[in-house]
Amino acid sequence: MKHILSAVCCITICSTPMLAKEKTAEAAAMTDQQFVDFAAQTDMVEANLGQLAGSAASAQPVKDYGQMLAADHTKDFNQLYDVAHQASLSMPNAIDPEHNKAMIDPFQKLNGAAFDHRYVHDMIAGHTKAIAVYKKEAANAQNAALKSYAEQALPTLQKHLDDAKALEKAK
């Protein structure tokens, strides 16, 4: 029960700034640079946590899911880099301190079933949010290549979400 309450509190705290940003984004569409920053941070965090799942998770399906995320988000990061470069947009090359503290650090302290539970829960929340942001970018991007990138990434993000939900149901 402590782990569940702890996870809910952490997610609430971590998502509060993002919810405020989303409300701002609804009023004014995200710029292409803001989207690139969001997508790059998402890819780097997902790849990092996916690698961590290989050693910290206890259930093999969670380890396999993490390995898939690490591979897919690394590939996506490279595609985003190419598109951002073509659009003359800057690309972050490291996880920023905010994402590191909110999304990576909490997992450093978890192992086994506690890691599995939090990881699957966070992947559902994170991919749900990412899909919403990518859909907005696919509809509103100023740059055609970035718009196409967002559209092409959506099926993979949806698969990640569906797989995380399946892991949650299997528990």
Nearest-10 Cα torsion for 28, 44, 168, 8:
-60
CA Rg, the chain, in Å? 16
* Average pLDDT of span 6-24: 43
Contacts of 25 (CB under 8 A, 6+ apart): 34, 133, 136
* Average pLDDT of span 122-142: 96
What is the structure's pLDDT at 25? 41
Of 1, 13, 10, which is closest to residue 121 (Cα–Cα)? 10
What is the structure's pLDDT at 6? 42
List the structure tokens of 121: 């829960």
Which structural domains are found in the chain, ordered by start? 2-170 (1.20.1260.10)
Rounded Cα–Cα distance for residues 67 and 53 (Å) = 8
Instruction: Please check the confidence at residue 155 and state whether its pLDDT lies above 80.
Output: yes
What is the structure's pLDDT at 120? 98
Instruction: Please check the confidence at residue 76 and state whether its pLDDT lies above 70.
Output: yes
Average pLDDT of the chain to the nearest whole number: 87
What is the structure's pLDDT at 97? 95
The dihedrals phi and psi of 141, each to the nearest 5 degrees, come to -60, 140
Rounded Cα–Cα distance for residues 156 and 74 (Å) = 13
Instruction: Please check the confidence at residue 61 and state whether its pLDDT lies above 50.
Output: yes
* Average pLDDT of span 21-48: 81
Query: How does residue 29 score in pLDDT terms, banded at 50, 70 and 90?
Result: confident
Query: How does residue 3 score in pLDDT terms, banded at 50, 70 and 90?
Result: very low
Please state, for a pLDDT cut of 70, what percent of the chain lies above it.
Answer: 84
What is the structure's pLDDT at 171? 77
